């Protein structure tokens, strides 16, 4: 896609790299859409740097701005991930923070953003959109947007249900590592070991009969450690390793909400995962974080999450995969796995 795409005399779409502008528009749209949701994340400029604007060079990502009469009225963000499905290696664009201002909710505006992201995706070898939308019981617009979109085929996943926990209610663990839980400076060698463990786990998952997104080693490392937002705990004992990576965002209700990307251990009993998780929880407590989310099976073993104190979310945001080429396959029985939630 060229840097600027004009789809009508008053509408244009172009890549945007001003994280303050992106953040302000997305937060205003989301707060207006979800008026009574105090736990709703309030996105920060650093989040957009981390996920889209300052990713590894080999990892295509973009935030598209939709302008009407010269005014920024919409944001569509996405990045390309390798996708394995039905024995085929292809690519998919993981969408996030799709937002259109209420004063510009016109079919041409939404279509311009979606067409722009589709053109950008095709230019990077992607033939699918992937994302998380409102649960079936919700009256939120996200699910209706996709299920009524003409020219697109879609499938919802039966996998990757969200689980939640209140970190403030988790008892302090005797296995908590010594040191400042809020600092968490991870040595490069520990990050290397964590990336190797997570790549091994992903390879085992990809061998199952489900559609899976893959993550390169450089992107994994980026997800585990980026400035002050991406934080990881790595525990190494007797040749084994435990990993817990997470991030925390402010909410529109004035609190904090956490998200766990990876909780993993190289040893079967998972004791080192427990230790890494305990230190991550201590950091969340230090920030008075009262809600944290994680994706369940197949991303994380449900038995592990139950042992750590998580509870399934009812309802849960629904993973969705969308194709604009109806000759291409969709996952069997809607079985799809995303490595991260956003």
DSSP for 199-215, written as a single string:
HHHHHHHHTSSSEEE--
CATH number at residue 208: 3.40.630.30
pLDDT at 74 over 80: yes
Q: Output the DSSP codes for 219-248.
A: HHHHHH-BTTTBEEEEEEETTEEEEEEEEE
65 shares a domain with 200: no
152 shares a domain with 194: no
328 shares a domain with 259: no
- Residue 92 domain flag: yes
pLDDT at 174: 47
147 shares a domain with 186: no
Please count the structural domains in the chain.
2
pLDDT at 141 over 80: no
259 shares a domain with 241: yes
pLDDT at 329: 85
113 shares a domain with 170: no
Distance CA 254, CA 267 (A): 39
* Token pair recorded at residue 169: 């209610």
- Across the range 77-85, mean pLDDT stands at 94
- Residue 342 domain flag: no
pLDDT at 140 over 70: no
Helices (H), 93-167: 107-123, 141-147
Q: Which of 245, 235, 231, 262 is nearest to 175 (CA)?
A: 235
258 shares a domain with 193: yes
DSSP state of 18: -
151 shares a domain with 12: yes
Distance CA 173, CA 177 (A): 9
- Of the pLDDT bands very low, low, confident and very high (cuts 50, 70, 90), residue 197 is very high
173 shares a domain with 138: no
Q: What is the pLDDT of residues 284-309, one digit of tens each?
A: 999 999 999 999 998 999 999 999 99
- Of the pLDDT bands very low, low, confident and very high (cuts 50, 70, 90), residue 4 is low
pLDDT at 184: 62
- Across the range 2-21, mean pLDDT stands at 81
**Percent of the chain's residues with pLDDT above 90:** 63
**Nearest 5°: phi and psi at 108?**
-65, -35
178 shares a domain with 121: no
144 shares a domain with 18: yes
Distance CA 97, CA 48 (A): 10
* Token pair recorded at residue 334: 């809607």
173 shares a domain with 296: yes
Does residue 13 or residue 209 have the better pLDDT? 13
pLDDT at 179 over 60: no
- Across the range 333-338, mean pLDDT stands at 84
pTM of the model: 0.92
Distance CA 145, CA 119 (A): 19
pLDDT at 208: 75
- Across the range 182-186, mean pLDDT stands at 61
pLDDT at 207 over 90: no
- Residue 132 domain flag: yes
pLDDT at 5: 63
Task: Tell me the residue range of the domain where 125 lies.
Answer: 4-160+317-337
């Amino acid at each position: 896609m060229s840097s600027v795409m004009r789809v009508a005399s008053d509408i244009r779409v172009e890549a945007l790299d001003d994280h303050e502008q992106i953040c302000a528009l997305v937060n205003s749209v989301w707060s207006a859409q979800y008026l009574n949701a105090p736990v709703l994340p309030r996105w920060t400029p650093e989040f957009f740097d981390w996920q889209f604007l300052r990713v590894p060079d080999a990892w295509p990502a973009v935030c598209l701005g939709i302008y009407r009469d010269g005014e920024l009225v919409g944001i569509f963000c996405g990045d390309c991930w390798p996708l394995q499905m039905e024995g085929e290696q292809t690519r998919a664009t993981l969408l996030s923070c799709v937002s259109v201002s209420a004063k510009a909710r016109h079919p041409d505006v939404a279509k311009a953003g979606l067409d722009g992201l589709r053109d950008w995706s095709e230019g990077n070898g992607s033939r699918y959109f992937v994302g998380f939308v409102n649960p079936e019981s919700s009256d939120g617009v996200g699910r209706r947007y996709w299920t009524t979109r003409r020219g697109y085929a879609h499938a919802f996943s039966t996998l990757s249900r969200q689980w939640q926990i209140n970190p403030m209610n988790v008892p302090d663990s005797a296995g908590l590592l010594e040191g400042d839980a809020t600092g968490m400076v991870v040595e490069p060698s520990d990050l290397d070991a964590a990336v190797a463990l997570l790549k091994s786990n992903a390879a085992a998952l990809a061998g199952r009969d489900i559609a899976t997104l893959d993550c390169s080693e450089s992107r994994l490392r980026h997800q585990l450690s980026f400035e002050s937002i991406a934080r990881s705990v790595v525990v190494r004992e007797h040749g084994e390793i435990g990993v817990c990576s997470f991030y925390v965002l402010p909410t529109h209700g004035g609190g904090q909400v956490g998200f766990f990307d990876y909780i993993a251990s190289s040893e079967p009993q998972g004791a080192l995962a427990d230790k890494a998780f305990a230190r991550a929880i201590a950091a969340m407590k230090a920030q008075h974080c009262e809600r944290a989310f994680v994706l369940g099976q197949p991303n994380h073993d449900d038995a592990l999450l139950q042992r750590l104190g998580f509870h399934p979310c009812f309802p849960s945001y629904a993973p969705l995969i969308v194709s604009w080429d109806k000759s291409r396959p969709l996952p069997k029985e809607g079985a799809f796995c995303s490595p991260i939630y956003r």
